[in-house]
Amino acid sequence: LVHEETESLADSERDEPRRNATKRSDVGPQTPAEGDETVTRFYRFISSTLKTKTRRKTGEVYKGTDERWQCRFCNGYYTGHPENRSNLALHLNVASNKNCCKKIYDPEDKSLRGLYKQPTKEDAAAPGQHSPAGTASSTSTSLLPGRGQQRLDMWRASQKTEMTKQKVEEVRRLVLQWVIMDNQPFVQPTSPHFQAILLALNPAVGPALLSPRQLRRDLELAYGHVVQDAVAYLRKHGIRFSVSHDAWTSPSRRYTFLSFVVSYVDVDWSFKQFILAFDVLDGPHIGAILA
């Protein structure tokens, strides 16, 4: 028994260097991350270490991996993670990082020479495509707009999107108003001929061409706003009003419609009315049903 324990201890001691060697492996990372092909090719993978970490928001404890990389431009060491190596890309981003790699134009690894070209004084002085004042005949070699132009383009795009959204909402409101005032069925706006007219006037209003169900939902939403505005008007001016109701049955005697109407005279002595409520009941409009 003592002999067997001695052999087991000896085997364990022989396996210990192998386990340590695995922890200090110099081979490439096993878990790919976004941008590996464009970022990590400028680095040398040194090692990876498994550590116990805590998430800031939840306080959850988990096992995470820290990778050690060496920049091939400046030979500096930087930390990355298998799931995110964006800091490695930022280190080499001349356009966005003022504190980027100092050896980006004169790399220690001579095979990378000429990869990044240092801008000349003429390029910096002349307004090229990086400037909103630049023209197509500019001598700038860059094909990408500068930050100022990018912000301007983003602002114009956001304004165009907002205008399109407002236009779509306006078309939906006008279509709903047409259906109500001309007593049109909810399926009428889905007519392909009607939609062709709208699209010919402005193709951007395509999202305003909705289904009959959506039109009914728009009607319910608009009705709620109209009633709120009318009640607020009566309260603001202290106007007296009367409430009347009426009921009628459909020709099939399947449904009973019950409406409540508010009538009043406004501050300009004009007679006004609006529907306060409209309900659908089952069966004919007899006393038992109304009760």
Pair of tokens at residue 191? 């007519």
Pair of tokens at residue 33? 């991350």
The 3-state secondary structure of the chain, one letter per residue: CHHHHHHHHHHHHHHHHHHHHHHCCCCCCCCCCCCHHHHHHHEEEEEEEEEEEECCCCCCEEEEEEEEEEECCCCCEEEEECCECHHHHHHCCCCCCCCCCCCCCCCCCHHHCCCCCCCCHHHHHCCCCCCCCCCCCCCCCCCCCCHHHHHHHHHHHHHHHHHHHHHHHHHHHHHHHHHHHCCCCCCHHHCHHHHHHHHHHCHHHHHHCCCHHHHHHHHHHHHHHHHHHHHHHHHHHCCCEEEEEEEEECCCCCEEEEEEEEEEECCCCCEEEEEEEEEEEECCCCHHHHC
Neighbours of 33 (CB within 10 A): 17
pLDDT of the residue at 78 = 93
Distance, in Å, from the CA atom of 176 to the CA atom of 243, rounded to the nearest integer, reads: 26
Q: What residue has token string 């409009």? A: 285
Question: Helices 212-237 and 147-181, interaxial angle, to 10°?
Answer: 80
Domain boundaries, the chain: 19-124
From first to last of the 291 residues of the chain, give the pLDDT tens digit: 434 444 444 454 444 444 443 343 333 454 444 444 456 789 999 999 998 888 877 788 888 899 999 999 999 999 988 888 888 888 988 877 888 899 989 899 988 888 888 877 655 554 444 433 344 444 444 445 556 666 666 656 665 555 666 777 888 888 888 988 898 888 888 888 888 888 887 777 777 777 888 888 888 888 888 888 888 988 998 999 999 988 888 887 778 888 899 999 988 899 998 888 888 887 776 777 666
Pair of tokens at residue 92? 């080499």
Q: Which value, to the nearest 10 degrees, does the dihedral of the CA atoms of residues 12, 17, 23, 29 take?
A: -120
pLDDT of the residue at 133 = 36
CA-wise closest residue to 280 among 289, 267, 271: 289
Distance, in Å, from the CA atom of 20 to the CA atom of 14, rounded to the nearest integer, reads: 11
Contact 89, 69 (CB under 8 A): no
* Burial classification of residue 2, based on how many CB atoms lie within 10 Å of its CB (0-12 exposed, 13-18 middle, 19 or more buried): exposed
Distance, in Å, from the CA atom of 241 to the CA atom of 98, rounded to the nearest integer, reads: 70
pTM of the model: 0.37
Put the strands of the sheet holding 271-282 in their side by side order: 241-249, 255-265, 271-282
